[in-house]
Amino acid sequence: MPRVHWNVLAVHAVLLSYTALTLFPTLLMMLNSVKTREAIFSNPLALPTPSTLDFIGYQTVANSARFDLYFLNSLIVTLGSLAVILFASSGAAWALARYQFAGNTLLGLYLSIGIMVPIRLGTISLLKMMVALKLTNTLWALILVYSASGIPLAVFILTQFFKQIPRELEDAAKIDGANDYQIFWLLLPLVRPALGTVAVFNMIPIWNDLWFPLILAPSESSKTVVLGAQIFLGQFINDWNAILAALTLAVLPIMVLYIIFSRQLIRGLTQGAIK
């Protein structure tokens, strides 16, 4: 029989309790979104039964709002921003980690300032810029803003991982005739956990953001799912079935994306802590 480590059991008990406490409101919302209005108010903690099962909330959402378009817009903005962040930050991090040049440290510090200064402080300037570029009410405006806000932290994380790659791998690639660009693409998979960490850290704030979609892209054709859900809630404030259905539709995709990237996030955090 293996020995029971009570400290390990205590840690797991605390973590499981915290997980249950965190997931409980979301699960409760999802369960009540498929129940009748009477069942929601009479016993909100009960599971749906054949007599209480009702999808009227989702029917209201489908008939009253373009959530399919909102989902597509959010997906384009999120994936487009992540693509720009990962591509630009990985190249910058590689240069800062592998090449020594005048101003290397100062450039790294300059990029780090972007982590400390909230991008929302420049909302007015960003709005003027997008108006001048004629990008208001377009998804490009959101992609550019989110990319600019996510690159500093991404460069900081990836630089530390690139510094841990042995120089011998780079030297071996050079002996085989690879140039600097080829070496970069050959070694990029070695920092995949860091890329997953960067993706998760940026994916959730981008998907859940309401500030910039409301200011830069509030038109019907460019609404994101969070903005669309917020406006929908204002119109159906007394229809609890529709409200819970709209909130479920807004939360569910980001939960799925988080589950997909969670393994890379844990590996990235663990390797970063060890290094």
**Continuous segment of H or E residues that includes residue 11:** helix 6-32
> For position 275, what pLDDT does the model report?
47
Q: Residue 234: which pLDDT band, with cuts at 50, 70 and 90?
A: confident
pLDDT band at 1 (very low <50, low <70, confident <90, very high): very low
Each residue's pLDDT tens digit, 140-189: 999 999 999 999 889 888 888 888 888 888 888 888 888 888 888 888 88
Instruction: State yes or no: pLDDT of 212 exceeds 90.
Output: yes
Lowest mean pLDDT segment, chosen from 97-101, 131-135, 220-224: 97-101
Of 76, 67, 40, give the one whose Cα is nearest residue 231: 67
Per-residue pLDDT at 131: 92
More confident residue, 36 or 262: 36
Comparing CA positions, the residue from 18, 17, 45 lying closest to residue 32 is: 45
List CB contacts of 90: < 8 A, sequence separation 6 or more. 154, 158, 184, 188, 191, 195
Residue 139 has pLDDT above 90, yes or no: yes
Asked if 194 and 157 count as a contact pair (C-beta separation under 8 A), the reply is yes
pTM: 0.80
Q: Which of 111-120, 133-142, 199-208, 222-231 has the highest mean pLDDT?
A: 133-142
Neighbours of 150 (CB within 10 A): 26
What are the domain boundaries of the chain? 57-274
Mean pLDDT of the chain: 83
- Kindly state which CATH superfamily the domain 57-274 is placed in: MetI-like (1.10.3720.10)
Specify the pLDDT at position 256.
78
Q: What angle do CA 41, 42, 44 make, to 5 degrees?
A: 65
Q: Which has the closest alpha carbon to 112: 140, 151, 74?
A: 151
